Amino acid sequence: MKKYLISGLVDTYRIKLNLFASSPKIALSIFKEKYPNAEDLYVIQDLFKR
């Protein structure tokens, strides 16, 4: 399991949510289940963290 930061647009508000999932695709589907009317979903990765 890995922690993913998912961002999505829900009713004109940008929501960022940390989720534990085995892949980014599953993390996106969990976000979509929690917020069914979410749009513009994407995964934010910490590119510069070690």
The pLDDT tens digits of the residues spanning 8-21 come to: 999 999 999 999 99
- Structural contact between residues 30 and 19, judged by C-beta atoms closer than 8 angstroms: yes
Overall average pLDDT of the 30-40 stretch:
95
| 37 Cβ neighbours under 8 A, 6+ residues apart | 10, 11
Domain ranges of the chain: 2-44
Per-residue DSSP letters for 1-49?
-EEEEEEEEETTEEEEEEEEESSHHHHHHHHHHHSTT-EEEEEE--SS-
List Cα–Cα distances, 41 to 13, 14, 49, in angstroms.
12, 10, 22
pTM over 0.85: no
